[in-house]
Amino acid sequence: MSVIVELSLPAAEFQLGRILSTEGDTTVSLETMVPLGDRSVPFFRLFGPDGGAFETKVRDHPAVSEIHVVNTHDGETLYALDWEISDDTFLDRLSSLGGYVLEASGGSDRWMFELRFPSHQALSDFQEACFEADIPIDIRRIYNPTRPDAGPWYGLTTPQRDTLTYAVEKGYYSLPRRTSTQDIAEEFGISDQAVTERLRRAIDTLVTNTILLAAADSD
């Protein structure tokens, strides 16, 4: 049965954090990791004014082949990173143990992660691997979204829950549709593309932690 862990990690302690380190209040939010051959291409958003300096710094990193601007909207820039993972033990162990990133964001000092593992044993193995590699993860919370004491949100993050609830209440899923992603974006102060991605993740998480788990248990 799956388990979710919330943890923090110094930006300097994993390769992607070092590559995407920022200055001041500028932050980065990891959108997804797309498999491509034997590597993964990160898509991430930059929130802040120093896009040009940030792109130059990232492009100059020896592990980076190129950084691509995918979309820019209202002070947010979506990037894709073409890189070669060389010593990112944190992400390597995460992938090898069947875990994946639900949410991740960081800046100059620390990153916050929400990770899902297929079992408590996989999470335990991940913690042990980080300990052996001297990766100073700080576990904030561990929970199983199907346990009664896990709360009613089935693994949804607060932004996912609030956005999905608002979309349903305002008739985004009604026929005919009574609101749009642009309307929802204005409510939460994000781009309409970010709304679409947040709703997609929310529905994926909700189905995975309810319908699919119930089906697996019945089998």
Q: Which of 100, 122, 143 is at the close of a domain?
A: 143
Domain check: are 25 and 68 in the same one?
Answer: yes
Domain end marker among 109, 143, 177: 143
Tell me what the mean pLDDT of segment 54-62 comes to: 89
Same domain, 40 and 137: yes
The CATH number linked to 210 is: 1.10.10
The mean pLDDT value for 119-123 works out to 89
CA dist 125 → 90, 122, 132, 162 (Å): 12, 5, 11, 33
Tell me: do 102 and 34 sit in the same domain.
yes
Number of structural domains, the chain?
2
CB 117 within 8 A of CB 99: yes
Same domain, 133 and 26: yes
Please report which confidence band the pLDDT of residue 148 belongs to, taking 50, 70 and 90 as the band edges.
very low
Q: Are 180 and 107 contained in the same domain? A: no
104 and 14 share one domain: yes
Q: What whole-number distance in Å separates Cα of residue 101 and Cα of residue 103?
A: 6
Residues 16 and 58 in one domain: yes
Q: How far is it between the farthest Cα atoms of the chain?
A: 55
pLDDT digits (tens, 9 = 90+) for 6-36: 999 999 888 889 888 888 778 888 887 765 4
In this structure, are 175 and 197 located in the same domain?
yes
pLDDT of residue 182: 92
Same domain for 33 and 117:
yes
Average the pLDDT over 87-107 and give the result: 84
Tell me: do 164 and 87 sit in the same domain.
Answer: no
Same domain, 7 and 106: yes
Q: Are residues 53 and 115 in the same domain?
A: yes
Per DSSP, the residues of 204-218 read HHHHIIIIIHHHHHH
Containing domain of residue 63, as a range?
Answer: 3-143
